[in-house]
């Protein structure tokens, strides 16, 4: 039986693509193990799936002063020792890394144990953790055509990102009932999220009177960001977040407004939903969302509205233009050739695992 070690952690975005691969890996007969941090979000998410989980020490390399910068390198060294011992005992055929600082010692240890490691980079330019790990990787998968030029030519593969297949199986009728919408007007879904959601939430609520005559609105506004004064507004529903019903809500939505995190926009692309991206500004991030959004804009998948440009007027105008041009965006997304990312990535696994086992 072929054995793969998955690794990735620190945020849900470094875990969910790994989770998306698990059903196909199971079909292919792989034994699956997971290496993550001792107490990160990945531990709970993976243990819920009954996948063997191994926690190692991890540290973060910061570009700013922090006293932890003096202790974290020792945690990374400890993590490397733990990862090397784990990989020796587990003896997998390959390692797949989705990113996050916990993965750096795992990928380096895999190289030293002569185990092929494959990295996946979600954003258009590699983050620091992946930049540190790339020299030890056999292959690097990526989402964006532009990313290839930032990677070693003999390692780069354009695959797209693994998408949770349950998102493709939503029921629009169930969502209609769940939201209590009585009219069949087109639906716009706003995914405000948590980080920096205030400007999106405020401006959506400001323009509701002009939107609701023509659109039903689903608003995922983030924890603690509900507006009680808007409860029972006809054609408008708000939720802090949604998990179980998310696929149904996507199925019902005609338009989606979202931040431009790599996993989120790849899910929107797979669902072929006309979308308006509002990337986090460079002040609130390393600027990766801006690059992601502009790539999708160039490829014809998305409209983009910069954080600094948001007003009630610009947001209302963008929504109406997006609806008017929706078929153009759908046509562009249908032509995308990285939609079957799970097959592309697991085919690579098969090739690498078979080569390793035959040595």
Q: What is the pLDDT of residues 247-294, one digit of tens each?
A: 999 999 999 999 998 889 999 999 999 999 999 876 655 678 999 999
Residue 90 CB contacts under 8 Å (≥ 6 apart), including other chains: 3, 5, 33
Phi-psi region of 289 (alpha: psi -120 to 50; beta: other; left: phi over 0): alpha
What's the pLDDT score for residue 62?
45
3-state secondary structure 195-237: CCCHHHHHHHHHHHHHHCCCCEEEEECCCCCCCHHHCCCCCEE
What's the pLDDT score for residue 29?
96
Q: What is the pLDDT of residues 304-348, one digit of tens each?
A: 999 889 999 999 999 999 999 999 999 999 988 666 899 999 999
User: Higher pLDDT residue, 65 or 1?
Assistant: 1
| Domains of the chain with bracketed CATH | 3-160+339-357 (3.40.50.2000), 166-334 (3.40.50.2000)
What's the pLDDT score for residue 307?
87
Residue 108 CB contacts under 8 Å (≥ 6 apart), including other chains: 80, 83, 133, 136
What's the pLDDT score for residue 302?
97
pLDDT band at residue 173 using 50, 70 and 90 as cut-offs: very high
Q: What is the pLDDT of residues 108-131, one digit of tens each?
A: 999 999 999 999 999 888 888 899
pLDDT band at residue 70 using 50, 70 and 90 as cut-offs: very low
CB 297 within 8 A of CB 304: yes
pLDDT band at residue 64 using 50, 70 and 90 as cut-offs: very low
Q: What is the pLDDT of residues 78-115, one digit of tens each?
A: 999 999 999 999 999 999 999 999 999 999 999 999 99
Mean pLDDT, residues 136-143 taken together: 96
Mean pLDDT, residues 210-238 taken together: 94
219 pLDDT exceeds 70?
yes
Question: Of all residues in the chain, what percent carry a pLDDT higher than 90?
Answer: 72
What's the pLDDT score for residue 223?
84
Rounded to two decimals, what is the model's pTM? 0.85
Mean pLDDT, residues 131-155 taken together: 94
What's the pLDDT score for residue 269?
94
The number of beta carbons lying within 10 Å of the beta carbon of residue 159 is 22
Do you know the residue count of the chain? 359
Q: What is the pLDDT of residues 292-303, one digit of tens each?
A: 999 999 999 999
What's the pLDDT score for residue 67?
45
Q: What is the pLDDT of residues 16-55, one digit of tens each?
A: 999 999 999 999 999 999 999 998 889 999 999 999 999 9
Mean pLDDT, residues 7-23 taken together: 91
What's the pLDDT score for residue 285?
59
Please give the mean pLDDT across all residues of the chain. Answer: 90
């Amino acid at each position: 039986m072929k054995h793969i070690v998955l690794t990735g952690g620190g945020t849900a975005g470094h875990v969910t693509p790994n989770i998306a691969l698990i059903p196909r890996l199971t079909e292919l007969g792989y034994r699956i193990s997971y290496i993550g941090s001792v107490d990160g979000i990945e531990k709970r998410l993976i243990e819920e799936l009954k996948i063997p989980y191994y926690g190692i020490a991890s540290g973060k390399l910061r570009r700013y002063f922090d006293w932890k910068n003096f202790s974290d390198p020792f945690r990374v060294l400890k993590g490397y020792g733990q990862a090397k011992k784990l990989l020796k005992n587990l003896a997998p055929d390959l390692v797949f890394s989705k990113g996050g600082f916990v993965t750096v010692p795992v990928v380096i240890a895999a190289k030293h144990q002569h185990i092929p490691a494959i990295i996946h980079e979600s954003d258009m330019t590699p983050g620091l953790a992946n930049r540190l790990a790339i020299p030890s990787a056999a292959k690097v998968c990526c989402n964006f055509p532009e990313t290839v030029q930032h990677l070693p030519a003999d390692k780069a593969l354009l695959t797209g990102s693994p998408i949770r297949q349950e998102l493709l199986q939503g029921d629009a009728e169930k969502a209609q009932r769940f939201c209590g919408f009585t009219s069949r007007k087109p639906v716009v879904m706003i995914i405000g999220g948590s980080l920096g959601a205030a400007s999106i939430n405020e401006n959506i609520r400001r323009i509701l009177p002009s939107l609701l005559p023509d659109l039903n609105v689903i608003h995922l506004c983030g924890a603690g960001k509900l507006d009680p004064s808007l409860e029972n507004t006809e054609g408008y529903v708000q939720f802090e977040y949604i998990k179980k019903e998310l696929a149904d809500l996507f199925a019902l939505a005609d338009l989606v407004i979202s931040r431009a995190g790599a996993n989120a926009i790849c899910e929107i692309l797979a669902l072929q939903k006309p979308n308006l991206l509002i990337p986090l500004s460079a002040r609130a991030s390393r600027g990766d969302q801006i690059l992601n959004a502009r790539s999708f804009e160039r490829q014809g998948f998305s409209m983009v509205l910069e954080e600094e440009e948001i007003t009630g007027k610009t947001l209302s105008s963008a929504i109406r233009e997006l609806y008017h041009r929706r078929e153009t965006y759908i046509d562009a997304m249908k032509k995308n050739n990285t939609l079957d990312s799970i097959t592309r990535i697991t085919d690579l696994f098969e090739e690498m695992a078979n080569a390793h086992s035959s040595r």
